[in-house]
Structure 1
Amino acid sequence: MEPTPPATDGHPAPDTFTSNSVRCDAYADSVALMRAAQHLTGLPGITAASLVMATEPNLRLLDDAQLLTDEGRAARPADLIVALRGTADAIEHALAEVPALLEQPAASESSEPDAWVPRALGEADPATALALISTPGPYAAAEALKALRGGMHAFVFSDNVPVDQEIRIKEEAHRLGLLAMGPDCGTAVLDGVPVGFANALRPGRVGLIGASGTGLQQVSCLLDAAGEGVRQMIGTGGRDLSAEVGARTTLDALDLLAADPGCELIVLVSKPPAPDVAERVVERAGRAGKPVVAAFLGTERPRTVGSVTVVGTLRDAAREALRTLGGAPAPSWTPPTVPPGPGRYLRALYAGGTFAYEARQLRPDAATEADPYVPDHAIDLPERHLVLDLGDDAYTAGRPHPMIDPTVRAAHLRAALTDPHTAAVVLDVVLGHGAGPDPAEALAAELEDVGDRRRPPVIAFVVGTEGDPQNVDAVRARLEKAGAVMAPTSTDAAEWAVSLLTQPGQPHRKAGELAAQGRAGR
């Protein structure tokens, strides 16, 4: 146990210590580790907690978060580090809880006390069709290849997998006629079974393929709200449409859905793809024999190529899908007229990385980095527009993802609400399996704590369905009660926020006009 160094503002941390407890050759699933870290962070006297495997990238992240001690530095990649910051008594109490937290069965495991659970791919039932891989990145490729060669599709949740290994995994999957979803794949719904961070979606006739997890969630939830259901939702990993990877999983998934008679429409979702890869995907989609909607974020001019319609936003993807299926999309949303805050800058604080990408198309001049959260240290926001993906490693070092634990985002929200340079704030709240049980409460509490005194407008949107474990209507109502103004989609929220970025007292301008101006000015 070592004394905690002073925060970056020079303030000491009296009676606070940093501890690393190393559990040798002890592996646990990353989602289980995040949930354990969330529990420990909530204990009295604990200001930060992280449970990670001692891989080189994780050691760097702990060091950046001032959570690494000499004991942790000496750990091997197969070891588990329990890193804690807090008072000595609180750390002792927290460490005593760790064994029980790690022994809790995963939600997907049988609740029967005598049920046998395989602990290695070789122990799995030969009929097993899918392997979910969440090992440290350096080991993920080997496990994915084992799964594929065992006849299983591979869902690779792990990140920090080298791109050459990703290509090797996907080439092997293609050779074997299987799917390699990931690395860094966060969501899927396969034959009605949610995998990773996924919403409870009604079954239906739409097949979705996406190189963006929260983008898939947004589009699928909008379809669900309009009464349409999902046949399959296949995540590919965020790099799939890069020039290096070349859409290997996207193309295989397109062929799979094209051959499925129960799939009547295919929707593709991706962060800005490599241009030549995008054209290759559109050409293949045109041979699917059924209509395809491709949402390539950043596309400035929607276009139709045969049976393929290419759009540039998540909202337009859902609208075009519903139009193609003969349904009635939600009517256009007219935002209320509200005055901007005292400043001139946007503060968009997202838990979903895709939403940050979408907002950056409207404000390409926005900063994409801010101070990481350090307990008892005031966050200094830049004097320019700010669009953050707070699920990025830079902000989750030593902490769970903001979809599970809102601590980091609540701190940035507090800084944005009290910053005199803020004109508008945007927040997303993502529900579903894997997300926290009450993801809006901490954000609502920050809004109520600041109060209404010349507070900048806070624009929020919720990604969820009526079937999700959280109550989607209650979440929206809680945010509205705290003073947030609710937008129906991520696209509407970003466009409306941009429309408020005028000098106080100037006429309110329509979101579409400013959005078009922002794109034309790039």
Structure 2
Amino acid sequence: MIYAFIKKGSFQDSVSLMLISRKLSASPEVEEVSVMMGTPANKSLLETTGFWHDDFTDATPNDICAAVRVGAENPGIVDLIREQLETELTAITQAAGQGQHLAKARRWQSACDKMPDANLLLISVAGEYAAGVAEQGLLSGKNVMMFSDNVPVEQEVALKQQARDRGLIVMGPDCGTAMIAGAPLAFANVLPKGNIGIIGASGTGIQELASQIALHNHGVSHAIGLGGRDLSAEVGGISALTALEWLAADEQSKVLAFVSKPPAEAVRQKVIAAMQRIPKPIVALFLGAKPEKCNEGNVWLASTLSQAAQLAVMLACVAEVTETQSAVVGKTISGLYAGGTLAAEAAMLLAAQLDVEPDAHHHNGIMLEAKGHRIVDLGDDVYTVGRPHPMIDPTTRSIEIEKLIQQKDVGVLLLDVVLGFGACADPAGAVVEAVQKVREARGPGNPLVVIATLTGTEKDPQCRTTQADTLLNADIVVMNNLQEAILLATHLITQHQHPVTATRPAILDGVKVINAGLRSFASDLQSTGTPVVHYQWAPVAGGNARLASLLKQLN
């Protein structure tokens, strides 16, 4: 049996009413209670879920509809639930008045007047009204984030195209996450600041990717949500393209990471093409897809969130070091390795970057020789006849390093420093001595960038940190692994062909929000120091579409 009552003219957000419904349903006198605003969509839902009562027929979107299901006749239950509802609504009002004062406005113009430089409208109102609120924000020159869902795709396309034409962005509908300039928008995490910019058509995908990056001791510059349908054939990646342009122009975002559910193939190709025009490394994860190759130019393809995070962090490490090194554009790479397996992997990685094949025969320890670049295994038999292995005695490698005095076309030297029992007592010191001779002889007009990797531990006789400090103090770059070393080397000898032409939007310097919908979103923003005005939105003209249209025309 269903009992019902209406509370007139008392607009509340849907999440608050859902929580109240659950709390009232815990009462032993009832089977279940459903409390909703009287919007057309909610009325349909009440009917579908078996909570409909004829008293709801004349309810407006500004009225609260309360339906009470009981197992037996109990007319007095209405008064009990009405009293409990009033208690819960009062508690919401009192909670809103506690703590730091939150700026509020009941009219759109008042909200704009209270924060004339607001640059983002955050919307979490009922889906049937969200597009109208979003258009109001766009016409006022504000970017829009739509947490609201159940927005028709036709309205989404129209809003996003309008935003793009105005140099703005619409994140959403159904955009659950964004973190821009440190501001937590909707569902968000507290993240360290860093140089990895994230774009995503997956809310929890963004959150997990950002969290994994933080676990790797790196940070995020911005995270821009798109909404789950942005990469569909109907929408065509409109907001994705804008977000890519924004972060391409953002100096703080050195590496981009893109995550989405499987996109329409034509949209995927369009997005990948846009990525390849950006002179920054980009990690792309299209969930569910299995990449046939690891990268397409500057675009690295991941198959899992953890892999995407690892790739982004690796590329971020390379980007950080790149800023400290002078480019040697047009020069070649020489790799002189004491470890045979390390030489083989370096050759494989460099061949992939150069789009060539490694040497198949390894004559004289040559693991790769292509386009002027060369990787050599100095532990090959040809170098150890009558001589100690270079891991024991570094003389062989020192001789090869010093040959670079005459090989002026070489701009980058790659090498390994292997520690442990049986190895040279100070391999880093031998490297530094040889490199300094080369640099002094070549002079400042023909610099040599040296990139080393270390194999060993802190407790080895040589001590990993001590050896690293020896190299770093001699202006030798130390990378975490061979892949980072190869990426840095190839980056230093190449130059990008596509300059960035997009304008960096001011919102990346700081977010100022008008929040329409869930009060908790405004409170979260306020707690982080983000300027925010809570727009206490309610349907215009009591939700009467015809009257609302007439009022809009009059304005």
Which of the five TM-score ranges fits, normalised by the shorter chain? 0.5 to 0.7
2:123 is aligned with 1:123: no
The correspondence for 2:83, drawn from 96, 102, 126, is 96
The structural deviation recorded for 1:52 is: 2.8
Q: Which letter does structure 1 place at the counterpart of 2:209?
A: V
Tell whether the 8 Å contact from 1:208 to 1:234 is kept in structure 2 after alignment.
yes
CA distance in 2, matches of 1:54, 1:226: 48
Q: Tell me the percent identity.
A: 37
2:135 is aligned with 1:151: no
Which runs of 5 or more residues in structure 2 are unaligned?
A: 319-518, 522-527, 529-555
The correspondence for 2:203, drawn from 213, 216, 219, is 213
Cα distance, 1:290–1:273 mapped onto 2, change above 3 Å? same
Cα distance, 1:21–1:247 mapped onto 2, change above 3 Å? farther
Alignment partner, residue 307 of structure 1: 298
The structural deviation recorded for 1:225 is: 1.8
Alignment partner, residue 316 of structure 1: 307
Tell whether the 8 Å contact from 2:41 to 2:128 is kept in structure 1 after alignment.
no
2:222 is aligned with 1:238: no
- Report SS of the residue matched to 1:325: helix
Which runs of 5 or more residues in structure 1 are unaligned?
A: 4-17, 328-432, 436-467, 469-522
Q: Which has the higher helix share?
A: 2
- Report SS of the residue matched to 1:209: strand
Cα distance, 1:47–1:112 mapped onto 2, change above 3 Å? same
Alignment partner, residue 66 of structure 1: 50
The structural deviation recorded for 1:37 is: 3.1
Cα distance, 1:37–1:225 mapped onto 2, change above 3 Å? farther
Cα distance, 1:286–1:126 mapped onto 2, change above 3 Å? same
2:4 is aligned with 1:20: yes
The correspondence for 1:187, drawn from 153, 177, 200, is 177
- Report SS of the residue matched to 1:326: helix
The structural deviation recorded for 1:196 is: 1.3
Give runs of aligned pairs for residues 430-469 of structure 1, distance below 5 A.
none
2:185 is aligned with 1:198: no
The structural deviation recorded for 1:82 is: 2.9
Tell whether the 8 Å contact from 1:198 to 1:434 is kept in structure 2 after alignment.
no
Tell whether the 8 Å contact from 1:32 to 1:106 is kept in structure 2 after alignment.
no
Deviations 1:432-479 (CA, angstroms, capped at 9, x unpaired) = x979xxxxxxxxxxxxxxxxxxxxxxxxxxxxxxxx9xxxxxxxxxxx
2:147 is aligned with 1:165: no
The structural deviation recorded for 1:156 is: 1.0
Alignment partner, residue 274 of structure 2: 284
CA distance in 2, matches of 1:289, 1:83: 58
Q: Which letter does structure 1 place at the counterpart of 2:164?
A: H
The structural deviation recorded for 1:147 is: 0.8
- Report SS of the residue matched to 2:104: coil
CA distance in 2, matches of 1:106, 1:274: 45
CA distance in 2, matches of 1:19, 1:65: 14
Deviations 1:245-273 (CA, angstroms, capped at 9, x unpaired) = 11111111111111111111111111111
2:253 is aligned with 1:263: yes
Q: Which letter does structure 2 place at the counterpart of 1:291?
A: P
Alignment partner, residue 264 of structure 2: 274
Cα distance, 1:229–1:73 mapped onto 2, change above 3 Å? farther
2:238 is aligned with 1:248: yes
Q: Higher relative CO (CA 8 A, sep ≥ 6), structure 1 or 2?
A: 2
CA distance in 2, matches of 1:56, 1:206: 43
Cα distance, 1:75–1:128 mapped onto 2, change above 3 Å? same
Q: Which letter does structure 2 place at the counterpart of 1:131?
A: L
* Length-normalised TM-score, structure 1: 0.55
* Length-normalised TM-score, structure 2: 0.52
Alignment partner, residue 57 of structure 1: 41
Tell whether the 8 Å contact from 1:43 to 1:90 is kept in structure 2 after alignment.
no
The structural deviation recorded for 1:104 is: 5.2
Alignment partner, residue 551 of structure 2: none
CA distance in 1, matches of 2:152, 2:182: 31
Cα distance, 1:185–1:84 mapped onto 2, change above 3 Å? farther
How many residue pairs end up in the alignment? 316
The structural deviation recorded for 1:42 is: 4.0
Deviations 1:257-303 (CA, angstroms, capped at 9, x unpaired) = 11111111111111111110011111111122211111111212253
- Report SS of the residue matched to 2:288: coil
Q: Which one is further off, 294-303 or 87-96?
A: 87-96
The structural deviation recorded for 1:59 is: 2.5
RMSD: 3.0
